[in-house]
Amino acid sequence: MSQFKGNHIQAVLFDWDMTLGATMGGVSIGERLAALFQRVGLFHESETIADAIEQYQEAVRSGRLWGHLIPQEKADIIHYYQQLLAILGQPEVPPPLAEQIYSEYAHLPFVFYEDTRPALAALAERGLRLGIITNHSPAIRPVIERELAEFVSPEHILISGELDLYKPDPAIFQEAAYRLETPAQACMYIGDNLQVDAIGAVMAGGYGCGLWCDRAGEAIPDDLPPGVYRIRELSQSLAYVEAV
């Protein structure tokens, strides 16, 4: 951190879910998916879903099943839901229903972390431009616009489902910098996924800094690229825009 020269940062962009807050707050993944499936009339216990997730992940790791452990793109997320439901005993999920599940996630309640609004306010007070880049369905836009109206302009909210671009595609990071009228090197991106968010912003998007918001306290890899750093809470991001 002492070697980072952060005084050139002019814009700070954020991931949405699990960075600024969490869908349904601090519940388990099983509970979150149980609520999501229930919205479309599919009823499964959270514990059963948690077991299905473990089975899915083990099958993917062993190569017995194609899929992503942390899917990012729409098609991959829908495939993930379909595979989980197949393990739960529902092998045939019609495409319209799978599409509905994908969109309904945006309508689950969202709970901000305690440090989010103070950090956004502090960054805005320093004259930094703020934006959002999220791998999400278009249905999330009214939620983000409503919740962040005092900090982020609608045109500075980039949603992958609207653009058909997904992090860590360089184009979505570069489009965000263009909309904020800020050179990529003067942008900082903050997200909870080390590879997709922090490393993706720097190595693919050309951003000057990528912050991995690691609230869980995972081990820090030994080979973080230059410009990529770990923080434990959003208030720590201030140090990276004020560094000299």
98 and 177 fall within a common domain: no
Query: In this structure, is residue 188 part of a structural domain?
Result: yes
| pLDDT bucket at 242, cuts 50 / 70 / 90 | confident
119 and 165 fall within a common domain: yes
User: CA–CA separation, 223 vs 128, rounded Å?
Assistant: 29
102 and 149 fall within a common domain: no
Last residue of a domain, one of 69, 90, 107: 107
117 and 102 fall within a common domain: no
Query: In this structure, is residue 192 part of a structural domain?
Result: yes
95 and 123 fall within a common domain: no
Question: Chain-wide mean pLDDT for the chain?
Answer: 95
- Strands 11-14 and 129-134: what pairing? parallel
- Cα angle 204-205-208, degrees, rounded to a multiple of 5: 115
User: CA–CA separation, 141 vs 162, rounded Å?
Assistant: 9
83 and 146 fall within a common domain: no
In the chain, the number of structural domains is 2
**Range of the structural domain that residue 42 is part of:** 29-107
Last residue of a domain, one of 107, 136, 159: 107
What CATH number is attached to the domain comprising 177?
Answer: 3.40.50.1000
146 and 45 fall within a common domain: no
Query: In this structure, is residue 67 part of a structural domain?
Result: yes
Provide the β-strand partners of residue 211.
190, 229
123 and 231 fall within a common domain: yes
Query: In this structure, is residue 182 part of a structural domain?
Result: yes
153 and 200 fall within a common domain: yes
- What percent of the chain has a predicted confidence (pLDDT) above 90? 93
Query: In this structure, is residue 213 part of a structural domain?
Result: yes
Predicted confidence (pLDDT) at residue 94 exceeds the cutoff of 80: yes
Query: In this structure, is residue 56 part of a structural domain?
Result: yes
89 and 168 fall within a common domain: no
Return the pLDDT at 243.
Answer: 57
Q: Which tokens in the block code for residue 75?
A: 């098609």
83 and 117 fall within a common domain: no
State pLDDT tens for residues 99-148. Answer: 999 999 999 999 999 999 999 999 999 999 999 999 999 999 999 999 99
Give Cβ neighbours of residue 88 (< 8 Å, ≥ 6 apart). 44, 48, 49, 52
Return the pLDDT at 7.
Answer: 58
Last residue of a domain, one of 107, 128, 148: 107
Query: In this structure, is residue 1 part of a structural domain?
Result: no
Return the pLDDT at 244.
Answer: 36
220 and 141 fall within a common domain: yes
- Strands 21-23 and 110-112: what pairing? antiparallel
pTM confidence score:
0.94
Closest to 167 measured CA to CA, from 119, 132, 143? 132
What is the pLDDT averaged over residues 17-44?
A: 97
Select the highest-mean-pLDDT range: 1-10, 85-94, 164-173.
Answer: 164-173
What is the pLDDT averaged over residues 26-42?
A: 97
